[in-house]
Amino acid sequence: MSRTPESPNPQPADSCGTGICGADVPPLIGRTLTGTGLTLDQAARVLLEDGTSPPALTPIQRRLVEEHAAHLDAA
């Protein structure tokens, strides 16, 4: 447990206060959603055509896909 000026309450030494940790896999590498085998465009088109987001998306990936689909739908 450690105490910092920013966080006076003790936290485990390996905690990640921001929710995005250095050991986490990035949601996108280039235009590919990591762990899905889909590009951002492909996932957005699935969302637009089927009305559901592809399975196995993280919350961050889902938000990125929804925003990208809204952009494609507006174009």
Q: How far is CA 13 from CA 8, 36, 61, 68, in A?
A: 13, 31, 27, 36
Give me 37's structure tokens.
């085998």
* Mean pLDDT score, 20-48: 90
Percent of the chain with pLDDT over 70: 71
Instruction: Classify residue 41: in a domain, yes or no.
Output: yes
Instruction: Classify residue 44: in a domain, yes or no.
Output: yes
Instruction: Classify residue 8: in a domain, yes or no.
Output: no
Half-sphere exposure of 55 (CA within 13 A, CB side): 0
Number of other CB atoms surrounding residue 45 within 10 Å: 17
* Mean pLDDT score, 5-22: 61
> Which ranges in the chain belong to alpha helices (H)?
40-50, 59-74
The structure's pTM equals: 0.68
**Domain span at 53:** 28-74
Number of domains in the chain: 1
pLDDT tens column, 36-72 = 999 999 999 999 999 998 888 999 999 999 999 999 9
